[in-house]
Amino acid sequence: MLANTLAPATTGCMLPRWENTRGDKLTTRAGGTAVTIVPIADSIPALDSEELFYSDRGFDRAAERRTDTEWLSNALSDPATKVLPVWDRKSLVKDGRAVILPYTQVLSEFSQEGWTPEPIFLGLLKEGDHQEAVFALDVTDSRKESSAEESPPVFSGAEGAEFVDLRREGPNLSASEAALLAYGRGLVDWQTRTRFCGKDGAPMLVTEAGHAMKCSSCGSSVYPRLDPAVIMLVTCGDYVLLGRQKRWAKGRYSCLAGFAELGETMEMAVGREVLEEAGIRVLPSSVRYAASQPWPFPSSLMIGFTAEAAAKPFPPELETLASSSASESDGRAGDSSASTSGSTEVDRGDGRMVRATVARGLVPGDLESLTGMRLPEAECDQKELEDARWFHRDWLRSALSLQPGAPELFGTVFGLPGKYAIARRLIGDWLEQRRERPWAGDAIKQVEIENGTFKYVLLRLRDAFGRSKLLVRGSVHASYHNDVYERTAREVRPLGLQLEVLGGGRIEHLAESKLIHVYGFSYAFGQAKHELTAAILQRWFPLYDTITTSDEGY
């Protein structure tokens, strides 16, 4: 069938959009490479900023000691003073723990080598009822051109330890140890990058116990630089915008992020970065600070924000039709044999027409929450992101918790950053918001379908108090649509819930190709409103790029 497409074909990463093919077929498409879904088996607790990795409020930096030369001299000769070795920007770790050595021991071993690294004072580490000074020490041999010419040093008492990339291995450490190692590594890295004056090229001298560098010629001082970067959770109603970079692990998505530029506020950076990366405008008044996290790789500070996307106007015609349809529905609740015919065409608000069916059985909010017509389309800058798309709050909750009602995953791959990252904290806090009062329907999956071609039924689940939700049920083992209905009825009956049938049809689900086609009708229940079915499926299969509907076939 040749497509008479009202919306232009898209490339890159786009929000799934409805297309009309000869007036009888609707297609949702999002460009970019389809990725897949795997479960993440733990829920996400909300965290305070100091509990995030690479930050430790409990560590005493003792900044007043950095210029106290007498105190520093005494500390360096104290047998209790500790040191964190750093080699080639890597930190020393053994069995998942940071290796902290006595400074006098390390100094003695290096004295035998004929050179002494410059210690950097980090602060005071609490040990029992007293505090011990702790320093970072760059043990990379500065006499050699590169670390490739040398092997990492081995220290007495630390046999079996290895120097590791903290960015990769940090999450395997405790939060406090990861923070301390990152602090020391960051200062060592800064000193390595600041060996010569930016004004006259003269060598720089270490001052303030390693926290400042002074030009040996002009006398100008510089301090460790900090690169502010914004990371933002962008939402639109119950949807959140997540993106991925091509170099990331397969299926990994996260919040959008980027560096602030000269002459702009953090809030301005949020709006600019979202527009540059995903082509979406955020409401300036909605930008709110959430938390921050040091990210010393080499010197970033991730500043977390939440923001609302500027949603497209919801056509008033749909509000009117949905309200009138709901009034009719409320008067006939429980009638499972009523016809589901009737449809109307409305303007989507952006110059395109979309076939939006308002049927008996629809309640206020269904059209907006299911069809996602208020969601702005994501158009990625391929230099920034490989893909960006909207994920519904319910799908993320279910996929992350694997509680009752979780979606069938069909062996696919999806992941988020680990709990060490501020992105995970922002997403987790958002998922904990707007939790409705629990009801019996929470235990019933909204979508339960299989791979293959099969009969399906569109249902409304209700309780005696007016709570309800739409269900899509289908099975390759069902010979008749009524078999699907009866099986679902047996599932919900012990919970005191009722079912209302809104029609039926067929679904062709090709999980390997990430394709779903909804079509046909049911002799027993009439034709379901496949547009609503497709919208529900789009919520629960957010990584599918193509979901189609057609009124043809059986």
- Of 243-257, 288-302, 425-439, least confident by mean pLDDT is 425-439
> Is pLDDT of 217 > 80?
yes
Residue 387: which residues within 8 A CB-CB, separation 6 or more? Answer: 13, 32, 33, 35, 243, 244, 253, 380
pLDDT confidence of residue 401:
73
**Secondary structure in 3-state letters for 105-141:** HHHHHHHCCCCCCCEEEEEEEEECCEEEEEEEEECCC
Active-site residue, 481 included: yes
Whole-angstrom distance, CA of residue 280 vs CA of residue 545: 19
Tell me what percent of the residues of the chain surpass a pLDDT of 90: 53
User: Please, what is the Cα angle at 451 between 445 and 457, to 5 degrees?
Assistant: 50
pLDDT tens per residue, range 33-59: 333 333 332 333 344 555 678 888 789
Q: Looking at 481, 509, 517, 530, which residue is catalytic?
A: 481
pLDDT tens per residue, range 429-462: 999 887 778 899 989 999 999 999 999 999 999 9
Confidence of residue 370 (pLDDT cuts 50, 70, 90): low
Could you tell me which residue, 214 or 144, shows the higher pLDDT? 214
How much is the average pLDDT of 68-74? 96
- Of 25-29, 390-394, 494-498, least confident by mean pLDDT is 25-29
Could you tell me which residue, 409 or 18, shows the higher pLDDT? 409
> Is pLDDT of 327 > 50?
no
pLDDT tens per residue, range 166-212: 988 988 998 889 999 999 999 999 999 999 999 999 999 999 999 99
Whole-angstrom distance, CA of residue 14 vs CA of residue 25: 20
Whole-angstrom distance, CA of residue 392 vs CA of residue 449: 19
Q: Which fold has domain 1-31+317-357+439-554?
A: Pyruvoyl-Dependent Histidine Decarboxylase; Chain B (3.50.20)
User: Please, what is the Cα angle at 458 between 487 and 463, to 5 degrees?
Assistant: 70
What ranges make up the beta strands (E) of 270-372? 288-295, 300-308, 344-347, 353-356
Backbone angles phi, psi at 87, to 5 degrees: -130, 125
pTM: 0.78
- Of 1-15, 88-102, 120-134, 433-447, least confident by mean pLDDT is 1-15
To the question of whether residue 383 is assigned a binding role by annotation, the answer is no
* Cβ 539 vs Cβ 370: under 8 Å: yes
Burial of 331 (0-12, 13-18, 19+ CB in 10 A): exposed
- CATH number of the domain at 53-146+160-222, please? 3.90.79.20
Whole-angstrom distance, CA of residue 202 vs CA of residue 214: 10
Mean pLDDT for all residues in the chain: 80
pLDDT tens per residue, range 387-415: 999 999 988 988 887 544 445 566 667 88
pLDDT confidence of residue 251:
87
Give the start-to-end residue ranges of the domains of the chain: 1-31+317-357+439-554, 53-146+160-222
Confidence of residue 85 (pLDDT cuts 50, 70, 90): very high
Dihedral of CA 389/395/401/407: which sign? Answer: negative
Could you tell me which residue, 25 or 401, shows the higher pLDDT? 401
The answer to whether 1-31+317-357+439-554 and 53-146+160-222 have equal CATH topology is no
How much is the average pLDDT of 212-220? 96
pLDDT confidence of residue 453:
97
Residue 453: which residues within 8 A CB-CB, separation 6 or more? Answer: 476, 506, 507, 508, 509
Give the number of other Cβ atoms within 10 Å of residue 372's Cβ: 23
What ranges make up the beta strands (E) of 386-467? 387-392, 447-448, 452-462
